[in-house]
Structure 1
Amino acid sequence: MTHDVGQQPDRPADLGEEYEHEPVPIEARRSLSSIAAVWFGFPMNLGNAVFGGVIVYNLGFVNGMIALLLGNLVLFGYVGALSYIAGKTGRSFSLQALATFGTTGRLIATGFLATVVIGWFSFQIGLTGTTMHDALGWSPMLAAAIGALIYTGLTTIGIRALSWLGMIATPLFVILGGIALYYGATGNNLAVGDVVGYEGSGTTLTFGAAVGIVIAGFADSGTMTADFTRWSKSGKSAVAATFTAFPVSNFVAYALGGLVVAVGGSTDPATNGGGFLGLLTGHSALLTAVAVFFVFANLGSVASHCLYNGAVGWSGITKLTMRPVAVALGVLGAAIALTGVWSYFLDWLNILGIFVPPIGAILIVDQLVLKRSVATVTRLRASAFTAWVIGAGLATVSHYLVPGSVDALVGIVVAAAVFWTYEKALGRAATSESRTAPAQATPAVTA
């Protein structure tokens, strides 16, 4: 059922329909360039540059780049498959979860992810505060509060704002990142061979853990990709839009941070990784002003995407529209950020890498491999939750007992295998039962 926007007093007509509770109709779908801008503008952020630098600092340039590439290829396969389903059906993550996990099960799966993603929103608010403090001496609380207001306001505009942000933030990141590399390398007298030959510190981060960090970085919003790619005109268009993010945009963001470290541009690579904002300040008032705008545009793009995921998810659960939910979650996320909880970032990544990817794996097997019909929705599908628990459980075991393993990949493979096996066993049991049931008399048909 579609709605006439002009008949909804609670939704300003000029902001448009967000289709929180129904598939996006074909006539409302958006161009490939628009959806690509939504996705490629998301990963190209300062946070990824920080962690790209940390990975290269620990593994060296060549091994670090290989880890970044492998993590992005896994993300493309994972997010691309979920995006294909979304583009083909027009359904949000919440509606996808309804078909696979059931009416009650959807509340659990969607509620979990829509809540966890607000942690990312809070992280970007906190990062705004500390970044502005470290670079320009701003009050971190004031900068964080300003960021929270801007990011929440942008989210309420809807999918269009995410596309606009991507078109602004991405070229800014590439241009300013290039300038930062120049300043970072100035005076170090490095040849190309010196950069490629950078060996890193050889510390405790393993190759598998580095790949896992890349996957976990987008485990949540990647699983909820349907909230963005349901606006695509087709499944193939949704996959193409996803490709611009993974591996392209996400790899560039991580790799740029790695290059900052390899050229000697980071003063504390173990902690700050490839964060390059400090390299842009102190040269001229103009460049500093552009850097300030860049912080809010770049981190605002990430924060708004995360808040949009959370708002669409909780809208599906509460039956409210997206915009008031976004405001409420924005206030909640800001409160969390201002308490400083957002700083437990590595613990957050561990949670995401273990508990989130099995959900997406189950959706892919159910709706892309087994081709689940929406008409077969149940209250709670035991096979889906069994696979989720086992997948997350073995990923947890792998994390603690198998050093160097890629926890997210373990969860994906195990959950997919368990769910497929469970569903096939149910199908065989149903077939066997129908064959052994006593024959029923066929009623006579009269004219």
Structure 2
Amino acid sequence: MPMPDLRHKEHTQDAVSDRERLSAGRLAITWMGFPFILAITMTGSVLALTAGLRTAVLATMVGSLAMFVYVGTLGEWGWRSGQSFAQIAQGVYGRRGYRIVSGLLSTLVLGWFAINTAMPAEILASAYHIPYPVTAAVLGILYVAITATGIVGLSRLSLSAVPVYAVLLVYGLAHLALRTAAGTPSAWPVPTMGFWPALSAVLAAFADSGTLAPDFNRWAKTRAASWIGSACGFPLGFGLAMGAGELFTGFLRAAHASYLHPFQNGNPVGYLLAFGGLPAAFAVAVAVINQGSNATHCLYNSTVGAAKLMSLRYRATALWLGLLGVALAASGVWKYLLDWLQVIGFAVPPIGGALIARYRAVLKQDGAAELADRTPYAPWIGTAVGWIAGGTILLTHSDATAPLALVTFAAGFLATSILDARTAARRQPQPAKP
């Protein structure tokens, strides 16, 4: 059966029908093209330098598996209901309250779209001496055009982005290993980050985008396809990308210390750029395709949420929202967004915790439809408890012993679960008095 044309119907206001669902393979490649990117490889390099190789690898393994459970569970709700994150949030947080939650996530991922557009634009501009605003505008408009085609466009770009980045990683690692095998190991920086902060960094790298898993998994044909797709994102794509950065940094121990700069030449793309010629041209092309895959995914999430909030068509929303993101990238304002996005990211895990707690409550009720009728205040209280816990950790600088993302998620999950359980107990029919 030919696949239906979904480019003009992204279901921002209604559920995806069974006949429009995607195959497990298409969903899997779409998911893998999201976190299997250069930016996550750079994050792995940073962790290897600041936490030490062994701690970084352990944090990556634990964090990737935790993200698999988190993303997979939220994605399953999307598959079961056929609804996007914004549609699910409306049922949980109420018709008005969901605007705060969905608006926050849409804004966050729009910021990440700008950043992931700016990164390949800077690489291209510096490699070929092109004015940065020009490269940012051209690449950004290209990414917006791909996003406007919907989930099918994302999967097609991922189908190119995943294999070319895999080839680049293998080539870069082999090139470095052969050149430095006989060299004298350089001094290894003294680790300043422990396991818990490293784990928090791993989780924070995709906590906001991972929470929007229903936007993708609502397209899954089966429950198995939903979980397979999530697994290709986490731990597979995410873990491989971050692990490659850690491995690359490990190889750099046998190189000159000047290579120990994750955001310059301490990553496969930056490393190959230094040699010029075909290796550099290949690295630039891969960066444009690879980071473009992530940028389009982020813009897709932002568009699906914003279109629901404002009752607009998907394509029109993608165009004006995307142009706003392109303007942020081209102007250089995105540099000021980076720290803000990382800080505000602590607000997202409690939302995911509250949603998963409510999903468990719904399953226990055999798929109760009217979620807003079940203690509508419980998710808000649970989310607020998570925010308070996160704020306390940040203000007391206790993140060295308390992983921010895990604590805030657990607080939101437990508070919502307790309130839901108490309400369910009160609604149980009481035995008649004799």
Are 1:209 and 2:206 an aligned pair?
A: no
> Where do 1:145-184 residues align within 5 Å?
145-184=137-176
Equivalences for residues 196-275 of structure 1 within 5 A: 200-264=188-252, 267-269=259-261, 271-272=263-264, 274-275=266-267
> What SS class does the counterpart of residue 110 from structure 2 fall into?
helix
Structure 1 residue 274, shift from structure 2 partner: 4.4
* 2:179 counterpart SS class: coil
Deviations 1:110-141, CA, capped at 9 Å, x for gaps: 11111111010011122122222344433222
Contact 2:354 2:382 in 1 (8 A): yes
Q: Secondary structure at the match of 2:14?
A: coil
In structure 1, the partner of 2:297 is 305
Aligned to 1:403: 399
Runs of 4+ in 1 over 6 A off after TM superposition: none
Give the structure 1 partner of residue 130 of structure 2: 138
Match of 1:342 in 2: 334
Please name the residue that 1:445 is paired with: none
Q: Distance in 1 between matches of 2:27 and 2:287?
A: 23
RMSD: 2.6
Say if 2:369 is the partner of 1:374: yes
Do the aligned partners of residues 417 and 379 (structure 1) sit closer, same or farther apart at CA in structure 2, a change above 3 Å counting? closer
- Tell me, in whole angstroms, the C-alpha distance in 2 between the residues paired with 1:347 and 1:14: 35
- Return the offset for 1:154: 0.5
Q: Please, which of 405, 410, 414 is the counterpart of residue 411 of structure 2?
A: 414
Q: Any residues of structure 2 matched to 1:38-117 within 5 Å, and which?
A: 38-117=30-109
**Structure 2 residue ranges without an equivalent (≥5):** none
| Counterpart-to-counterpart distance in 2, 1:72 and 1:336 | 30
5+ long unaligned stretches in structure 1: 6-12, 439-447
Structure 1 match to 2:387: 392
Per-residue deviation at 1:399?
3.3
Q: 2:351 aligns with which of 355, 359, 362?
A: 359
Q: Deviations over 1:357-381 (max 9, x none)?
A: 1111111111234436333435992
Give the equivalent residue in structure 2 for 1:441.
Answer: none
Q: CA deviation at 1:423?
A: 1.8
Instruction: Give SS of 2:180's match.
Output: coil
Which shows bigger deviation, 405-414 or 367-376? 367-376
- For 2:147 and 2:177, the matched residues in 1 are separated by 37
Q: Which moved more, 1:128-137 or 1:85-94?
A: 128-137
Q: Distance in 2 between matches of 1:381 and 1:179?
A: 53
1:238 and 1:274 map into 2 onto residues whose CA distance is 35
Q: How many Å apart are 1:403 and its aligned residue?
A: 3.2
Closer/same/farther in 2, CA of residues 160 and 271 from structure 1, 3 Å limit: closer
- Partner Cα separation in structure 2 for residue 220 and residue 263 of structure 1: 31
Compared CA separation, residues 110 and 361, structure 1 to 2 (3 A): same
Distance 1:44 1:56, change over 3 A: same
Scaled by the length of structure 2, the TM-score of the pair is: 0.90
Q: CA deviation at 1:278?
A: 2.4
CA separation of 1:370 and 1:101: change in aligned 2, threshold 3 A: same
Question: 1:238 Cα shift?
Answer: 0.5
1:49–1:400 distance in 2 versus 1, CA, 3 Å:
same
Structure 1 residues 199 and 113: alpha-carbon distance in aligned structure 2, compared to 1, 3 A threshold: farther
Whether the aligned pair in 1 keeps the contact of 2:30 and 2:158 (CA below 8 Å) is yes
- Paired positions, count: 420
Question: Whole-Å Cα distance in 2 between the matches of residues 15 and 229 of structure 1?
Answer: 17
**Aligned equivalents of 1:199, 1:259: Cα separation in 2:** 16
Alpha-carbon separation, structure 2, partners of 1:137 and 1:82: 44
Answer yes or no: is the 8 Å Cα contact 1:87–1:236 preserved in 2: no
Q: Which amino acid aligns with 1:377?
A: A
Is contact 1:135-1:278 (8 Å) kept? no
Work out the CA distance in 2 between the residues paired with 1:394 and 1:187. Answer: 48
Q: Is this contact kept in 2: 1:28–1:231, CA < 8 A? A: yes
The sequence identity of aligned pairs, in percent, is 28
AA paired with 1:403?
D
CA 216–14 in structure 1, closer or farther in 2 if over 3 Å, else same: closer
* More divergent stretch after superposition (288-297 vs 381-390): 288-297
Provide, for residues 159-208 of structure 1, a one-character-per-residue CA deviation record: whole Å limited to 9, x for no partner. 011111111111111111111112323432269xx99xx99423433321
1:122 aligns with 2:114: yes
How far did 1:254 drift?
0.7
Whether the 8 Å CA contact 1:129–1:144 is kept in 2: the answer is: yes
Q: Secondary structure at the match of 1:233?
A: coil
**Which amino acid in the other structure matches residue 129 of structure 2?**
G
Query: More deviation in 373-382 or 409-418?
Result: 373-382
Greater Rg over alpha carbons, structure: 1
2: CA distance between counterparts of 1:59 and 1:136?
A: 35
State the 1:341 CA deviation: 3.1
Segment of structure 1 superposing worse, 341-350 or 297-306:
341-350
Asked if the contact 2:123/2:284 (under 8 Å) is kept, the reply is no
User: Separation in 1 of the partners of 2:343 and 2:100?
Assistant: 20
2:132–2:330 contact (8 Å) kept in structure 1: no
